[in-house]
Chains A and B, each alone.
Chain A
């Protein structure tokens, strides 16, 4: 089993798999995002309290979910790299960080834009907003730490450690609206029970989420290929891949 696991994580295998998956992810993302955008902007009815301002959720909620998912993936990849010394884990973590950071920026700005008409302010030091801002700083910290060392492997290890320590922020973000008094509304979709959002609004939202996920997958494939090329450029298989 371990032999299979190590083969699965071998750089040439991951490089080829990423190259093969990229066009499928990109095409599927375009379809899902197209459906989500049309459904969310055109066909979903205005919210009875928030009016058309609620449509901001079609970019805000998927980007917030992706910011947490990306960070979790980065921490898991870092942990795998540290524990089992599987170096592709560091490449996955390095490729994930900038994408996750960009989604975090999107979540923060769109949340702020939604907050102005709904709360009367662009920003409040609310537990959800503050923990999401800390997530952005964690992303910046992890990316900076990786490049702060002259020796690449030391930077990788330091970044992996920080990402693992910082993962404690993910449940804090998620449950902040339950644990503390928060301006931010509670979850409407990610509940064990029935969602508290109308289906005509929910389907485009789920489609946008799938679209964001697939887009993330496509960009990750491209970045991961680049990371592998950077890290393995002295290898014979890279020589063949570049020449072909």
Chain B
């Protein structure tokens, strides 16, 4: 990649932050969804454990 590409015709300070923010938003979506899913599985597993110990 040459310098012209990164300079974006003088608009680099506007173009690259937009793509960087998009990357952050995508990463946040993946991270938060995985975290939420893991927490839900843990809660469900705990509920299963409680139900099993109560013999239901």
Which A residues form the contact surface with B (CB < 8 A)? 37, 41-42, 46, 51-53, 55-56, 59-60, 63, 98-99, 102-103, 105-106, 109-110, 113-114, 116-117, 215, 219, 222-223, 225-227, 229-230, 233-234, 238-239, 241-243
Closest approach, in angstroms, between the C-beta of A52 and any C-beta of chain B?
4
List, in ascending order, chain A residues with CB within 8 A of B51's CB.
234, 239
Partner of A109, one of B8, B21, B39, B44: B21
A106 B25 Cβ-Cβ under 8 A: yes
Closest approach, in angstroms, between the C-beta of A70 and any C-beta of chain B?
11
A interface footprint on B1-37 (CB within 8 Å = 1, 0 otherwise)? 0000100111100110111011001101110111011
Partner of A51, one of B11, B21, B22, B34: B11
B33 A56 Cβ-Cβ under 8 A: no
A117 B33 Cβ-Cβ under 8 A: no
Residue of B whose beta carbon sits closest to that of A230? B40
Partner of B37, one of A51, A53, A117, A226: A226
* Chain B residues touching A, range: 20 to 34
A243 B18 Cβ-Cβ under 8 A: no
The secondary-structure label for the interface of chain A is: helix
Closest approach, in angstroms, between the C-beta of B36 and any C-beta of chain A?
5
A110 B18 Cβ-Cβ under 8 A: yes
Residue of A whose beta carbon sits closest to that of B36? A226
B22 A242 Cβ-Cβ under 8 A: no
Partner of B33, one of A63, A110, A219: A219
Residue of B whose beta carbon sits closest to that of A240? B48
**Most A CB within 10 A of own CB, among B22, B26, B28, B30:** B22
A116 B14 Cβ-Cβ under 8 A: yes
Known A-B contacts A223-B37, A226-B36, A234-B51; the reply to A110 vs B21 at CB < 8 A is: yes
A234 B47 Cβ-Cβ under 8 A: yes
